[in-house]
Amino acid sequence: MGATTRQIEVLSNVSPEVLLERVEEPRRQEERELECRESIAELPARSSVSPRKGVQRLVSFCFLIALLAFAVNALVSVGIRHIKTSSFGAWNQMMQGRVNADVIISGSSRATYHYDPRVIESATGRTAFNIGRVGSQTDVQVAVLKAYLEHNRKPALVVHNLDAFTFVTTREIFEPAQYVPYLDDQTLYESLRPFDPNLAKSRYLPLYGYIVEDMNFAWFTGVRALLGRSPKEDYFRGFCPREKEWTDEFERFKRGNPHGVSFAIEPKGVEALEQLIRLCQQNGIQLVLVYSPEYSEMQSLTNNRSAIFSTFKELADRNHVQLWDFSDWTHDDDRDYFYNSQHLNAKGAEAFSDDLAARLKDYLAKGSKGQPGGFQVSISQLSTAGHN
C-alpha cells in the first residue's frame, strides 16, 4: 500500500516530457539497465569465514609477506656483498677493507673511466685503486672517501678528479642500490643521508632500496651471486675501461643547448670540495686535484668555465694543494679517444693514464727527494692551473 502511494507521488512529480520520453525509449532504458547489471562486479552474498578468523588470516598473510621481504632483502644483500667482479666487486673490496692502496683515485664517472690504477702502479711502483663512483657529485665523493678511510689503511696520496659540475650538489643519489648493502655502516649512512631522505627508507624498509630506488635489477644480481653467478668483470682495481666509440650524445646535446650550458657554483658544492681537502689534510694524506681531459668543443660550450676554474685555483692555492689541469691534453680534440664530450673511451683512458702516471712518477720522485716521507712539491713546479 505504502509503496503504491509512493509510486503515485513520484509519478505526480514527473514531468509529461519525461513520461513521454519513457514511453518512447523503453528499449533503450532496458538495454542500459542490462548493460549496467552486466558491468557491475558481483559481490559474494555471504561469507563462510567469520570476521575474526578473516582478520586473523589477513594479518597472517601480511606477516608472511613482510617476512619474505626481510628474507629476500637479507639474501640479496649477502649476495651482493659476495660479488668479486664488476662495480659491486670494487665497492666490496673497499668496504671490506681489502684495498689498502698507496694511491687512491676518487671522483665521479670521469674518475672511474679515465684513471687506470694498473698503469699508475707500473709507473710509480706504488699500489693504486680507483674508488670513483659513477653519477656522484663531490658531496657523495666525500662520503665515499670517508668510508674508504674508515675501512682501509690510509693512502699516501689521493688523486681527486674534478669536473665542470664539481660544485653542483647532489639532488638525488644516483643508483642508490649500490650503497644499500652497506647502509648498516654508520659512517657511510651518516655521510650519505643528508643528500637523500629516502636513504632511511632504504635502510629500514626491506627491499625498498632494491626495488623502489633501483631500476637496474640490482636484487637480481644479488640473487645470481648467491647462486654462484658473478657479473661480467669490467672493473680493474676500480677502473672501468669503456670500449666504446664516439656516440651521437654530444651532437644531441649541442642541438638541445645551442648556446652552451653553465654549471652552478653552489656554496655547498665549494664547501664539499673544501671538506674533501680538509679530510685529506687531517689524515696526513697528500692530495692532487686533477681536471682530466674533456673534449675540446665542449670546453667552449661551458659558458662559466673560467669562473669554475678560478674557484678551483683559489681553493687549491688557499689550501696548498696541487691542481693539474688536462684541459689542453694532446688528444682533447680527437674523437678516437672519447665516446662523448665528458668521457674518454678505453683507448683515451690508456693514453691519459700513461700521461698522468708519468707526471705522478716525477711528482712522487721529486717529493721523495725534497721532503723525506712526503710528496710536497710547490704548486709552481707542476701545476698547470689557470686554464682559460
Chain contacts with other proteins (rule: CB under 8 A): 10, 13-18, 21-22, 28-29, 32, 35-36, 39-44, 46-51, 53-55, 57-58, 61, 64-65, 68-69, 72, 201, 207, 211-213, 215-217, 219, 248, 252
Q: Which is nearer to other proteins, 216 or 378 (CB)?
A: 216
Q: Which is nearer to other proteins, 13 or 282 (CB)?
A: 13
Q: Which is nearer to other proteins, 229 or 252 (CB)?
A: 252
Q: How far is the CB of 136 from other proteins (least distance, A)?
A: 19
Query: Where is 364: in which H helix or E strand?
Result: helix 346-370
Q: Which is nearer to other proteins, 219 or 324 (CB)?
A: 219
Q: How far is the CB of 82 from other proteins (least distance, A)?
A: 20
Q: How far is the CB of 122 from other proteins (least distance, A)?
A: 34
Q: How far is the CB of 54 from other proteins (least distance, A)?
A: 3
Q: How far is the CB of 58 from other proteins (least distance, A)?
A: 7
Q: Which is nearer to other proteins, 229 or 318 (CB)?
A: 229
Q: Which is nearer to other proteins, 28 or 153 (CB)?
A: 28
Asked whether the beta carbons of 116 and 239 are under 8 A apart, the reply is yes
Least Cα distance to 189 among 130, 131, 152, 140 occurs for 140
Q: How far is the CB of 118 from other proteins (least distance, A)?
A: 28
Give the CA-trace dihedral at 131, 134, 139, 144, to 10 degrees: -30
Q: Dmax over Cα atoms in the chain, in whole Å?
A: 115
What b/e sequence results for 157-191 when a residue is b if at least 16 CB atoms lie within 10 Å of its CB, and e otherwise?
Answer: bbbbbbbbbbbbbbeebbbbbbbbbbbebeebbeb
Least Cα distance to 209 among 175, 233, 166, 258 occurs for 175
Q: How many CA atoms lie within 13 A of 10 on its CB side?
A: 7
